[in-house]
Amino acid sequence: MLDVGVRPDSILLVAGDVRDPKTCENLISKTVENYFNPLPQETEKLMLDAGVSSSNILLVAGDVRDPKTCENLISKTVEKWGRLDVLVNNAGVISKLGVPVDSEENFDYTFDVNLKSIVRLNKLAIPHLEKTKGNIVNISSINALTRGRDVPTFYALSKAALDHYLKYEAPGLAEKGIRMNNIA
């Protein structure tokens, strides 16, 4: 198993979808899952089927573009478990369905989900992560570095911006004892 420096009792907040909840169970004991699934019982069933204990799951529904959702994610996590150790920014979109990929509406949507929500969540989480000397993991993309086939421009740009955000933010966070990394 990959050693990511997470303690067995870590409080992990996943902003976005957990595709393999068993992986999370192997790394942590308590998971906060932000989901956009209109059927929360499906999200919970997926996690329970993977062996995650119901007492170790907190589901918070909402759209990460909404500041209230971001506030709820952080506050409900800390309210339930008293701390936050790891924030995984896993929310992401390639483009908005039903609108032209080169439209301003799609640009705004893609950047709001793939960058702005991450900056917002990080800002809200930092005071808590500073106390625990915690970690932030942002999910980027190889498309930030190289042109992919049939990859929408705004998606690649948003992930490149996320990589640059890391370069500018990580050194200051390290001074506070917080480690921030991007993975693709």
Provide the annotated active-site residues: 155
CA 53 distance to own-chain centroid: 21
Residue 72 zone, left/alpha/beta (φ > 0; ψ -120 to 50; rest): alpha
Here the tokens at position 76 are: 């409900």
| Residue 13 β-bridge partners | 32, 87
